[in-house]
Structure 1
C-alpha cells in the first residue's frame, strides 16, 4: 500500500471516529489535568497531580478535582498546602477514581495523555505512590484528539 493510500485510510478512519463522537455525545467524556513542572522536580520524583477536569460532551457539565478545592474544604490555607500536599493529592485522587469507577463504560477523549510522563498512567502512578489502588480505564476507551487531528490534517 502506498503512503498516500495509507494516509487516506487513516484520515477516513479519524473522520469516522469524530463523526461517531458527534452522533453519540452521551458516550464521551473529555479529560485534562495539570501537574507540577516536569523540570523542577526534587530528587527525580514524578510530578504531583494538581488538578483534573472531566467534562460530559452531551451537556457540557464539568467535574473538577483539585488540590486547592480539597484544601479549602479542610480549612487549609493556601500558604500551608505544601505542608499537606501528599494528603491533599491523595484525597483529590480518591475523589477522581470514585468518579472513574462510575464511568468505566464511557469513552475518554484527551490530548496527548499517552504515557507515564503525562497521561492516565502518570495519574495512576501518582495514586499508587500515595497508597491508592487506581481503577484502570480500558485503553480501547481512550481517544487521543491530537492524533485524530494529525490523521485528518497532517502534522
Structure 2
C-alpha cells in the first residue's frame, strides 16, 4: 500500500497525512519504506550540484532539500558520507539516492489509542443490513458511522460515510 502525502518529523517520531494513512495497514514489527524526495531525482540533483557547487559539503547541500536536523542525524549516524559534493564516488551517489528514495524504518509502536486519529475495528458490517444498518440479530438496533468496521482514507470520507449511513438508517428507524 502506498500513499503520496506529506510526512512530519516530530519530537516523538513521524506523523502527518502519509503516516496516518499507512497506520491503518502497518502491523507491529513491519518496516515502512518512505521516498523522502518523491518529486526529485537525487542522482540528477547531485550531478547538478557537482557542476554548480562542487566544493560545498554534502551535508550542507542536503539541508536545502531535507530538514536540517534530519540531515544532522543522518550525518552523525554515518548514513551519509562526510565529504564535499565533488568527492562523492559513483557508488556513493547510487547508495545515497537509494537510501533517500527508499528510506526504511521499523516503527517501535504507535502513540496508542489515547492520541489516535485513525482506528480499526468496530461492529462487523456482515452483521448489519446493508440497506438499513439494522443489526440482523436484534431488531430495532442500528449501528452507523465510525462504530462500524469501515475504514477509509483521510480527507473527510469517514464523515461522508457517517452522514450517508445515518441518513439511510433514519429512513427505516
Q: Which has the higher strand share?
A: 1
Q: Same fold (TM over 0.5)?
A: no
> Could you state the TM-score of these two structures normalised by the residue count of structure 2?
0.25
